[in-house]
Amino acid sequence: MEKIILVGNGARENAIADALIKGGAEIYAYMQLLNPGIRKSAKKYEIGKLDDSSAIVKFAKENEVKLAVIGPEAPLAAGVVDALEKEGIGCVGPTKALAQLETSKSFTRELLKKHNIDVSPKFGVFMEAKGIAEFLEELGTYVIKPDGLTGGKGVKVFGEHIMSHDEGLKYCEEVLETHPRVVIEEKLEGEEFSLQSLTDGESFLHFPPVQDHKRAFDGDKGPNTGGMGSYSDADLLLPFLEDEDVREAEKVTERVAAAIKKDYRPYRGVMYGGFIKTAKGVKLIEYNARLGDPEAMNVLPLLKTNFTEVCKAVAEGKLGKIDAEFERKATVCKYVVPEGYPDSPKAGRIEVPTYEKGGIKALVYYAAVDEKEDGIYMTKSRGVAFVGMGRSLQEAEKIAEQAAEKVKGGVFHRKDIGTENLISKRIEHIRKITGGKNERK
List residues binding ligand AMP (CB under 6 A): 121, 143, 145, 152, 155, 157, 185, 187-188, 192, 214, 274, 285-286
Within 127-156, which residues bind ligand GLY (CB under 6 A)?
Answer: 152
**Out of ligand GLY, ligand AMP, none, which partner does residue 293 contact, by CB within 5 to 8 A per kind?**
ligand GLY
Q: CA distances (Å), 40 to each of 3, 6, 17, 45, in order?
A: 16, 14, 10, 10
SS3 275: strand
Q: Does 94 sit near ligand GLY (CB under 6 A)?
A: no
d(CA 326, CA 23): 15
Least distance (Å) between residue 194 CB and ligand GLY: 6
Least distance (Å) between residue 169 CB and ligand AMP: 18
Q: CA distances (Å), 35 to each of 45, 189, 355, 371, in order?
A: 10, 38, 19, 7
Q: Does 288 sit near ligand GLY (CB under 6 A)?
A: yes
Candidates 37, 227, 390, 409: give the one binding ligand GLY (CB under 6 A). 227
Least distance (Å) between residue 111 CB and ligand GLY: 19
C-beta atoms surrounding 428 within 10 Å = 11
90-92 and 67-70 as β-strands: parallel, antiparallel, unpaired?
parallel
Least distance (Å) between residue 163 CB and ligand GLY: 26
CB 282 within 8 A of CB 276: yes
Phi, psi of 428 (to 5 degrees): -60, -40
**Out of ligand GLY, ligand AMP, none, which partner does residue 13 contact, by CB within 5 to 8 A per kind?**
none
Nearest CA among 198, 321, 312, 324 for reference residue 266: 198
Least distance (Å) between residue 141 CB and ligand AMP: 9
Given the complex with ligand GLY, which of 245 and 295 has the nearer CB atom?
295
Candidates 147, 186, 212, 401: give the one binding ligand GLY (CB under 6 A). 212
**Out of ligand AMP, ligand GLY, none, which partner does residue 227 contact, by CB within 5 to 8 A per kind?**
ligand GLY
Given the complex with ligand GLY, which of 191 and 212 has the nearer CB atom?
212
**Sheet with strand 67-70: strands edge to edge:** 44-47, 25-31, 2-7, 67-70, 90-92
**Out of ligand AMP, ligand GLY, none, which partner does residue 286 contact, by CB within 5 to 8 A per kind?**
ligand AMP
Contacts of 241 (CB under 8 A, 6+ apart): 193, 209, 277
Judged by the rule CB under 6 A, the positions of this chain that interact with ligand GLY are: 152, 212, 227, 288, 292-293, 295
